[in-house]
A = this chain, B = another copy of it.
Amino acid sequence: MEERTEIADLGEFGLIEHLTKNFEIHNVSTVLGVGDDAAVIDHFGKQTVISTDLLLEGIHFDLMYTPLKHLGYKAVMVNLSDIYAMNATPTQITVSIGISNRISIEALNEFYEGIYIACEKHGVDLVGGDTTTSQKGFIISVTAIGEVTPDKFVKRSTAQKGDLICVSGDLGGAFLGLTLMEREKGIYLENPKVQPDLENESYIVGRLLKPEARKEVIDFFEQNDIVPTAMMDVSDGVSSEVMHLCKQSNLGCRIYEEKLPISDESRRAAYKFGLDPTVCALNGGEDYELIFTLKQEDHDKITLNEEISVIGYMTDLEEGSKIITKGGNTFNITAQGWNAFKQ
């Protein structure tokens, strides 16, 4: 029989203490962490970066196929990705949760174990949060703080005409993982005796359930004296993010279909589901890669990094935002990324 502790047995403060007792402090800047009204963070000669995300059950995740440990890990990664997208280093996070009595302590332990692993991996301190009951559904709010050498942060609005457009890693995998999980969920709901068919699909499932914020790309920039002209993370899909870079920098762009980095696993999965891999790469969200622009003269600095692909370049606003297909046709890019308020 599985152990089950009721949250009421601990009380709110007991719960916080219970959930946070294993977290160690990594940064000398963390003067005061969990357990008081607020956390104290020391910054001398550094700039503080802060980002926050709200994740809701049924909207951002489905507990039917999302293990809680992965969910905790992902909730942190999504925020760290935003900090790295500023060319900054994450240093602290706060985690607030709203939980119904459906969730046991053991389940919460799993969730916080994922948070713990994410924090350890990225040298980040959990410094606060809030816990409350919810009437329905699991609610997660994470805020991340980071630091950056003054004026080294990279915005979305500062790309220049002629700059190369680059992305890290590969695209579309998380969307294909989601497509697979939704398909398997549908099959399971129709016939609970059918076991999920996830064989050979561990790559795309991992892209969905356990995304990695791209710390090593930021480290690579620093080691190679690279400062992107503009940057953001790929959470809604590359076409949506490219449109943000263009709009905020007041420029247009050219993207080449053949340059879009797509893994063999994603390509195979797309064909299996009858989808176009290019469409998945352009419009699929949640890859949590970095998209950035670079001065052309910096091109040599990135050629040796196999994790970085040049997918196009920035143009004048008047030239529009277009994609050139493998067949040589040119289409306008439309941001079809995740839009929470459209059906």
Please give the residue numbers on chain A whose beta carbons come within 8 Å of chain B beta carbons, in ascending order.
7-8, 10-12, 15, 31-32, 35-54, 56, 58-60, 82-83, 85-86, 88, 92, 94, 96-98, 127-137, 139, 141, 143-146, 148, 150, 153, 155-157, 232-233, 248, 339-343
Contact = CB atoms under 8 A, between A and B. Distances in A.
A92 B340 contact: no
Contact of A98 (B35, B54, B145): B54
A248 B17 CA distance: 13
A153 B134 CA distance: 32
B58 A135 contact: yes
Contacts of A47: 31, 40-43
Contacts of A36: 86, 155-157, 232
Given A136-B137, A155-B32, A39 B12 contact: no
A341 B98 contact: no
A45 B44 contact: yes
Nearest to A156: B36
Which of A52, A86, A139, A248 gathers most chain B CB within 10 Å?
A52
Given A47-B42, A59-B132, A132-B56, A141 B37 contact: no
Contact of A50 (B44, B145, B148): B145
B341 A11 contact: yes
A51 to B, nearest CB: 4
Contacts of A155: 32, 36
A90 to B, nearest CB: 10
A44 B141 CA distance: 28
A52 B128 contact: yes
A56 B97 CA distance: 11
Contacts of A97: 54
B51 A141 contact: no
Given A86-B37, A141-B96, A51 B128 contact: yes
Contacts of A131: 54, 340
Given A96-B52, A130-B53, A134-B59, A44 B44 contact: yes
Contacts of A15: 341
B141 A38 contact: no
Contacts of A134: 56, 59, 137
25 contacts: A12-B339, A12-B340, A15-B341, A31-B153, A32-B153, A32-B155, A36-B157, A37-B82, A37-B83, A37-B85, A38-B85, A39-B50, A41-B47, A41-B48, A42-B48, A48-B145, A50-B50, A51-B128, A53-B130, A54-B132, A54-B141, A98-B139, A132-B340, A136-B136, A143-B143
A169 B24 CA distance: 38
A115 B50 CA distance: 19
Contact of A48 (B48, B83, B94, B148): B48
Nearest to A46: B43
Given A59-B132, A137-B135, A341 B12 contact: yes
Nearest to A153: B40
B11 A128 contact: no
Given A8-B341, A10-B341, A94 B50 contact: yes
A39 to B, nearest CB: 5
A143 B232 CA distance: 22
